[in-house]
């Protein structure tokens, strides 16, 4: 396996939230500043905080349901307050609330449940080229550095290989696409702790999930005047996985209405097993150029 990238090292450091009490944790922001706290960071740090309050057994994360209340200030640490709702033999439930300056930024319910044998079925993995056959993300940036500088200059702890063109290339080609499919894995090896793999996936799940909303309309991030802010985000974890192995994230948008758009996605392991399902809703507004 390749060496861990500097950006992945930074992500792992961000995920190692500092314990300040039995149910209070503090998370930091990355060096690369954005306008507001990245939603995937809140999901990832929040799920780690919740997991560190589990004291009975070691059930894996089964589901999470998050609501984004307001934008986080990237110049200040984020406090994660955990409420313990249930500690059963095979189940546990937590609520995590992210707070800055005594104001709630984000809240999330996290459910933990032991995996036991039962009925098995799942939809099949889409047929796309393997990640080794696809160019790294940096190749897609060439020629677009000025127009999509926000993405180029962001932290890149996740190795992303598009099985279709990204939004900016699609727009230039005049293409529209209802489905977007990308291979993802961490940019280097991860520790064995399963919660770190869940957290890294949470972080990555907030990228590309909304792409199909705008590619349905032939638009692109960074080029068209678009505003997007996540409203809520849910994930269901069907089986355990390693996120330093390639996984296919296939997303589409079933609806956009009332200045909101919904993106749904699935993570498949390379062997075709469905690992995780994702649904995200976002406030999304398009400001067309004046004629």
For 225, what's the count of Cα atoms within 13 Å in the CB-facing half-sphere? 4
Closest to 106 (Cα-Cα) out of 231, 264, 19: 231
Annotated domain spans of the chain: 6-114+131-286
Task: Report pLDDT for 219.
Answer: 96
Task: Report pLDDT for 100.
Answer: 97
| CATH of the domain spanning 6-114+131-286, picked from 2.40.160.210, 2.70.70.10, 3.30.342.10, 1.10.3720.10 | 2.40.160.210
Scored b (16 or more CB within 10 A) or e, 236-267 reads bbbeebbbbebbbbbbbbeebeeeebbbbbbb
Note the pLDDT tens digit of each residue in 222-247. Answer: 899 999 999 999 999 999 999 999 99
Instruction: Say how far apart CA 155 and CA 33 lie, in whole Å.
Output: 9
| Cross-strand partners of 108 | 66, 96
Task: Report pLDDT for 138.
Answer: 92
Calculate the alpha carbon distances from 219 to 70, 136, 212 in Å: 26, 22, 10
- The strands making up 179-186's β-sheet, listed across from edge to edge, are 18-21, 24-27, 78-87, 91-100, 103-113, 61-68, 226-237, 274-286, 260-269, 247-257, 179-186, 158-162
For 140, what's the count of Cα atoms within 13 Å in the CB-facing half-sphere? 21
The answer to whether the Cα torsion of 233, 238, 244, 247 is positive or negative is: negative
Instruction: Say how far apart CA 152 and CA 130 lie, in whole Å.
Output: 24
By the 8 A CB rule, do 284 and 228 touch? yes
Which pair of tokens denotes residue 198? 């869940």
Which pair of tokens denotes residue 6? 């500097």
Task: Report pLDDT for 2.
Answer: 67
- What residues in the chain have per-residue pLDDT under 70? 1-2
Task: Report pLDDT for 88.
Answer: 87
Task: Report pLDDT for 1.
Answer: 47
């Amino acid at each position: 396996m390749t060496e861990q990238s500097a950006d992945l090292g930074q992500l792992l450091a961000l995920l190692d939230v500092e314990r300040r009490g039995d149910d209070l944790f503090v998370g930091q922001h990355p060096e690369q500043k954005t306008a507001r706290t990245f939603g995937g960071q809140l999901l990832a740090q929040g799920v780690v905080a919740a997991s560190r309050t589990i004291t009975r057994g070691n059930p894996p994360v089964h589901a999470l349901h998050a609501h984004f209340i307001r934008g986080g200030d990237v110049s200040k640490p984020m406090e994660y307050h955990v409420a313990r709702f249930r500690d059963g033999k095979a189940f546990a439930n937590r609520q995590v609330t992210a707070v800055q300056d005594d104001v709630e930024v984000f809240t999330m319910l996290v459910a933990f449940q032991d995996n036991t044998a039962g009925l098995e079925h799942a939809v099949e993995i889409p047929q796309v080229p393997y990640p080794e056959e696809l160019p790294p993300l940096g190749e897609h940036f060439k020629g677009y550095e000025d127009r999509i500088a926000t993405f180029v200059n962001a932290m890149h702890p996740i190795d992303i290989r598009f099985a279709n063109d990204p939004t900016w290339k699609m727009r230039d080609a005049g293409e529209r696409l209802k489905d977007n499919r990308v291979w993802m894995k961490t940019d280097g090896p991860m520790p064995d702790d399963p919660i770190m793999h869940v957290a890294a996936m949470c972080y990555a799940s907030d990228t590309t999930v909304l792409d199909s909303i705008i590619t349905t309309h032939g638009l692109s991030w960074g080029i068209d005047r678009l505003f997007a802010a996540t409203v809520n985000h849910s994930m269901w974890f069907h089986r355990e996985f390693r996120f330093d192995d390639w996984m296919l994230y296939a997303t589409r948008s079933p609806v956009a209405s009332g200045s909101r758009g919904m993106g749904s996605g699935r993570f498949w392991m390379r062997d075709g097993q469905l690992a995780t399902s994702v649904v995200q809703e976002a406030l999304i507004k398009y400001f067309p150029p004046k004629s």
